[in-house]
Amino acid sequence: MWNAKGPMDISEVLQRVRAGDRQAFAAIVGHYQGPLFGFLGRMGLTPARAEEIAQETFLRAWTRLADFDPGRGAFGAWFYTIARRLALNELGRAPGRLEVPLAAEHEAACGEPEPFQSLALAERRQRLSAALGALPAGDRSVLALACIKELALAEVARIDGTTVGAVKTRLHRARRKLARLMENDDV
């Protein structure tokens, strides 16, 4: 599957999955699980909801694999499109449910930085979390995909179902909004 030598050809993995090889799908889960949790956390989902959405994303990818067309784009873009839609649906059902991001919870559980550093880091994270929570879910999605996941704008456009130009515009506006919110003392 994916190893130290680099990624295995995704088309080969997908052929094995389509042939019923559950271990091949387990490799897909192993490869995408961490980045997916990070994406969902940055979308503003609680850890529990992120876990549910991640499970639903993998389940839909498994059951709808026949819908994936490599001629229309990369598997990762198709996969994150599923996750994005599920996350936006969840956020639309429960506006304002933004809670502690997964990364901050993980560091708290690991007990990493020194207490004084931890406090400053926690304050910055809290401000960022609040600022991200104040953005519309679509803006959080574009920021998470382009800036944090570092996907190419063409991939973000495919996931978002729009054009590269629209993604550039939304990304620029979202960055400006986020910067203004971070400067605001009310956040």
Distance CA 39, CA 170 (A): 18
**Are the CB atoms for 172 and 116 separated by under 8 Å?**
no
Q: Is residue 2 part of a domain?
A: no
pLDDT at 185: 60
Q: Per the domain annotation, does 3 fall within a domain?
A: no
| Predicted local confidence at residue 107, as pLDDT | 46
144 DSSP assignment: I
We report the CATH number of the domain holding residue 123 as: 1.10.1740.10
Burial degree of 64 (CB within 10 A; 0-12, 13-18, 19+) = exposed
Residue 178 domain-assigned? yes
Q: Return the pLDDT at 101.
A: 46
pLDDT surpasses 70 at 113: no
pLDDT of residue 168: 92
Tell me what the mean pLDDT of segment 79-85 comes to. Answer: 94
Tally of residues, the chain = 187
| pLDDT one-digit tens code per residue, 21-74 | 888 899 899 989 999 998 998 888 888 899 999 999 999 999 999 889 888 888
What integer best gives the mean pLDDT of the chain?
80
What is the mean predicted confidence (pLDDT) over 13-24? 87
Render pLDDT for 139-186 as a digit per residue (tens, 0 to 9).
Answer: 888 888 887 677 888 888 888 888 999 999 999 998 888 888 888 765
Q: What are phi and psi of 3, to 5 degrees?
A: -145, -170
Q: Is residue 51 part of a domain?
A: yes
Residue 116 resides in a domain:
yes
Q: Is residue 5 part of a domain?
A: no
Decide: pTM greater than 0.85.
no
Q: Which domain holds residue 133?
A: 10-183
Percent of the chain at pLDDT > 70 equals 79
Domain count, the chain: 1
* Residue 80 confidence (pLDDT) above 90: yes
Query: Residue 96 falls within a domain, yes or no?
Result: yes
Residue 11 — pLDDT band, cuts 50, 70, 90? Answer: confident
Residue 53 lies in a domain: yes
